[in-house]
């Protein structure tokens, strides 16, 4: 394994950083630099993956007596390396290997074009609004942000009260307008602007070409579907079972939800059938009417700096990882970037085990949307000398929070953004602990996406634990924690429109990926049992927000994410069953030992969770979260 690290590390270290910078500080210079090296890098990576010498050496180790001396995670990484080599064309004859490598290069170039098209669409289009009535329903905080955008675009006198207001196509602005703006014409205008850009930059044609190439690559290696390559047969079957059951139930229930939403909208003045730009607005109105939740008032309880600090304290208490902010470091890729050190409190001396960059705020002109983590540097015990210490793992956590308005309050979080932060920090916890026990590269995908996202979903579930979320909250003006009455409303609304949300997020994307890897023909054909408005919303979502839709590492993630949600629901129920903080500390350490520490071992992630909970996993927790208990 040390020899593999020596081979892989020099290119990996540099290339991962280049890929990350392209996501967070996009520029013509970076694009040009990446384009110059992309094909050469892919050729080198392909030659490494298709090396018969390396493949035979790992096979010899696997079949020999030394195999038993390796740890379970080490064996898992080498097993994954063998599978990656097979799926990477190591056994292909030369002619097929050349074709396979040409397809890989073309796929990577198309994926790169796909991401750049999304960024270019946001950069090249905006709408300047002068009439306040066009933005009725938007809260003052959002109007202030739109006015600030207009100021930066040369309209020096723009104000929140009087405008003008600049609407761009970034996800923050788009979501705010579609959810809160009562002016249907403005919602439609912004929605159609994004659809026009989608056609202009031809991402759908890229998807079609990707589909053909992916299927051609699958036929060449003749090892079943690429879409299932990251998971074992047992886990794959379990993931598919969950996916099938939820699809059937959610599609049926989404029809009922949509009828209720249409009736509500009609009763409140919507004279025509719901269009794609109407769905989120009326869903929010119905949620507020039914549960009494004012999203803008709720944001005041979740200032980003407070939530982040207290979440890190929670991680320290439950999982034994302390996040320490490192002040005075040289500036990262942006002045807002913060650097943290991660210490393992469960190890003698509380050693540093990783570093974490935080890039919290939205920059739609040069930063990819969404929330994610990148592994920039992996742990090493080989790449060191007398003068140079072995590198620690380095992660980058990226969010897209609204930036602080000049001279105003700190950035405030919606409850959905709080959930996203919990989930993403869970990925950091998982990665830090997994990397600390390994001596070589351990990307999230190398141990299966159902395992990689499990800790994220587990942590996300704590958003619906009363004491935990009240601890995270602090009203931006009064310091008051979230009142019980308001938490009860949040809990009651958790499953509101859950089936429709599932259809938009999972069914559409999942069906697209199945078409992408398994069938011929357009990947966005209609599904008879799904309402057209939900299909259209799903199509829009995958075209605009699912940046990694063509990522090899995400090829099996959709079914696996459902499995991880199921397992996380069961694991969370174990935490809910105990009351004291000390018991949580014990459970957190047990989760480290019985779940995260077993990654890569012959013990499946399902068996690991069953060992943690002491019972057979069930659908009940996930069904409850999806509002399907009675179906």
Q: What is the DSSP string of 68-93?
A: GGS-HHHHHHHHHHHHHHHHTTTTS-
Cβ partners under 8 Å of residue 525, min gap 6: 515
Residue-level pLDDT at 88: 87
Q: Tokens in use for 158?
A: 């723009």
Low-confidence ranges of the chain (pLDDT < 50): 199, 224-228, 230-231, 439-442, 444-445, 447, 520-525, 553-555, 602
Cis peptide before 303 (omega within 30 of 0): no
At residue 145, the pLDDT reads 92
This prediction has a pTM of 0.90
Backbone angles phi, psi at 168, to 5 degrees: -105, 180
Instruction: Tell me which residue has tokens 């974490």.
Output: 356
As a whole number of angstroms, the distance between CA 62 and CA 247 comes to: 40
Euclidean distance between CA atoms 315 and 459, whole angstroms: 9
Q: Where are the alpha helices (DSSP H) in 156-183?
A: 171-180
Contacts of residues 105-108 at CB distance under 8 Å and 24 or more positions apart, as own/partner, are 105/39, 105/42, 105/43, 106/213, 107/210, 107/213, 107/214, 107/217, 107/550, 108/38, 108/42
CA distance 529 to 252: 8
Strand bridging mode 394-401 / 352-361: parallel
**Can you read off the two tokens belonging to residue 215?**
């299927």
349-400 tens-digit pLDDT: 998 999 999 999 999 889 988 899 998 888 766 666 565 566 788 999 999 9
What 3-state class would DSSP assign to 401?
strand
User: Residue 342 in contact with residue 323, Cβ under 8 Å?
Assistant: yes
Full 3-state SS string of 254-298: HHHHHHHHHHHHHHCCCCCCCCHHHHHHHHHHHHHHHHCCCHHHH
- Give pLDDT, residue 415: 96
- 3-class secondary-structure state, position 201: coil
Angle at 148 between CA 143 and CA 150, to 5 degrees: 95
Q: How far is CA 16 from CA 20, 47, 78, 390, 395, in A?
A: 6, 18, 21, 18, 11
Give 326-395 as a DSSP string: -TTPPP-SSTT-EEEEEEETTSTT--EEEEEEEEEE--TTTS--S-EEEEEE---SSS--SSSPPPPPEE
Cα separation, 457 vs 429, in Å, equals: 12
């Amino acid at each position: 394994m040390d020899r593999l690290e020596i081979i892989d590390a020099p290119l990996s270290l540099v290339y991962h950083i280049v890929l990350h910078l392209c996501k967070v500080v996009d520029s013509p210079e970076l694009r040009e630099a990446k384009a110059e090296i992309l094909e050469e890098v892919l050729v080198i990576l392909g030659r490494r993956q298709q090396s018969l010498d390396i493949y035979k050496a790992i096979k010899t180790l696997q079949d020999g007596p030394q195999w038993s001396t390796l740890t379970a995670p080490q064996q898992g990484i080498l097993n994954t390396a063998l599978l990656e080599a097979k799926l990477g064309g190591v056994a292909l004859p030369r002619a097929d290997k050349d074709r396979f490598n040409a397809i890989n290069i073309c796929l990577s170039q198309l994926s790169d074009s796909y991401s750049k098209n999304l960024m270019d669409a946001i950069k090249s289009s905006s709408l300047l609004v002068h009439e306040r009535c066009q933005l009725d329903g938007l809260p003052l905080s959002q109007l202030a942000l739109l006015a600030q955008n207009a100021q930066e675009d040369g309209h020096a006198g723009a104000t929140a009260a009087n405008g003008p207001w600049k609407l761009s196509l970034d996800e923050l602005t788009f979501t705010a307008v579609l959810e809160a703006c009562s002016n249907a014409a403005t919602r439609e205008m912004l929605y159609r602007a994004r659809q026009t850009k989608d056609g202009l930059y031809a991402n759908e044609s890229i998807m079609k070409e990707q589909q053909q190439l992916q299927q051609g690559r699958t036929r060449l290696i003749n090892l079943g579907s690429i879409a299932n390559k990251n998971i074992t047969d047992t886990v794959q079957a379990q993931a598919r079972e969950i996916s099938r059951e939820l699809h059937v139930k959610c599609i049926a229930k989404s029809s009922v939800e949509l009828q209720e939403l249409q009736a509500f909208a009609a009763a409140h003045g919507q004279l025509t059938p719901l269009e794609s730009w109407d769905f989120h607005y009326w869903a929010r109105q119905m949620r507020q009417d039914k549960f009494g939740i004012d999203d803008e008032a709720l944001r005041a309880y979740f200032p980003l700096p407070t939530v982040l600090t207290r979440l890190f304290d929670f991680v320290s208490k439950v999982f034994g990882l302390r996040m320490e902010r490192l002040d005075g470091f040289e500036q990262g890729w942006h002045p807002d970037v913060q650097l943290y050190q991660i210490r393992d409190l469960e190890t003698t001396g509380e050693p540093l085990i990783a570093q974490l960059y935080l890039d919290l705020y939205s920059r739609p002109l040069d930063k990819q949307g969404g929330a994610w983590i990148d592994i920039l540097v992996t742990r090493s015990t080989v790449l060191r000398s007398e003068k140079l210490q072995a590198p620690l793992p380095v992660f980058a956590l990226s969010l897209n929070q609204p930036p602080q308005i000049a001279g105003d309050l700190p950035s405030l979080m919606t409850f959905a953004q709080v959930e996203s932060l919990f989930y993403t920090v869970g990925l950091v916890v998982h990665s830090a602990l997994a990397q600390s026990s390994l001596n070589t590269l351990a990307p999230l995908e190398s141990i299966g996406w159902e395992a990689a996202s499990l800790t994220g979903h587990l942590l996300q579930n704590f958003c619906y634990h009363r004491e935990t979320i009240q601890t995270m909250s602090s009203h931006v003006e009064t310091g008051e924690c979230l009142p019980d009455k308001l938490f009860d409303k949040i809990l009651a609304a958790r499953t509101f429109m859950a089936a429709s949300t599932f259809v938009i997020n999972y069914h559409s994307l999942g069906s697209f990926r199945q078409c992408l890897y398994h069938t011929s023909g357009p990947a966005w054909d209609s599904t008879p049992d799904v309402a057209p408005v939900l299909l259209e919303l799903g199509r829009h979502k995958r075209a605009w927000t699912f940046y990694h839709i063509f990522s090899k590492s995400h090829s099996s993630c959709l079914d696996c994410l459902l499995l991880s949600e199921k397992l996380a629901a069961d694991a969370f129920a174990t935490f809910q069953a105990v009351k004291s903080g000390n018991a949580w500390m014990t459970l957190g350490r047990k989760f480290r030992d019985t779940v995260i520490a077993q990654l890569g071992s012959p013990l499946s992630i399902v068996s690991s969770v069953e060992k943690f909970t002491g019972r057979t996993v069930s659908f009940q927790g996930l069904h409850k979260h999806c509002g399907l208990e009675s179906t």
